[in-house]
Structure 1
């Protein structure tokens, strides 16, 4: 079924402004990079510039599949979601390009807007030699959400049935 067919059950498309607000309030998602087989999928924290860019900080070892695939790909997908309950959730799917910043570009959004979540072990470890920033330029975005009970679960739905 499509989102439009499920509208009567409380499923809604998000506007561009709602998507921007959602992305700004989150900090963790799932990156999918194409491969010859199944996509390479990994959780990543991100910073968001409020418009059209996400900033990923890669922690790299001597060999990094995510860095290799990121440099080889023309297009990637990134999913950000929040699920408070089965009746209250939001999901934004982004498509875009992934690249290292050019020398004149900032490697993070404006000061004070960082929402990226990073595991404690990454913050405590000395990772200065193995860190690279990648920019995800959003080319397409789609968001859906369900906020509230479906009509059959609404308190007044039972009153309508009894009449």
Structure 2
């Protein structure tokens, strides 16, 4: 039930608070919603299990974008983005081990990001969650404006 509620929240956030009776879904929200609940697996890069960078690598590969299988490597790509300017699809990075960037997720809008958490697998988490807020390091914009528009456009069911 929680997965369904969060999926609906993500769809609504990424679709700009939909008007009308029917829910629409973008390519990005559709792909993310299909991955929510996949278990965590150290060094995992498939739907059999993901680590954090394996999840973002797999997701963006589906959009035709090649990312390295390393949160530190992914943090070197794209353009730096201020936390106040985040948009859906931006990568958000955290220092969870005290040694620099060690965790990555995808900002989905409305103050949430999706990531593969060690004890939960692929989940939505609030960016201002106490644990992650104090470990936030930076964000990077990987998607061009054109690719962003393509991925955020509603897809037919």
Same fold (TM over 0.5): no
TM-score by length of 1: 0.24
Q: From the CA coordinates, give the structure whose radius of gyration is larger.
A: 1
Q: TM-score, normalised by structure 2?
A: 0.24
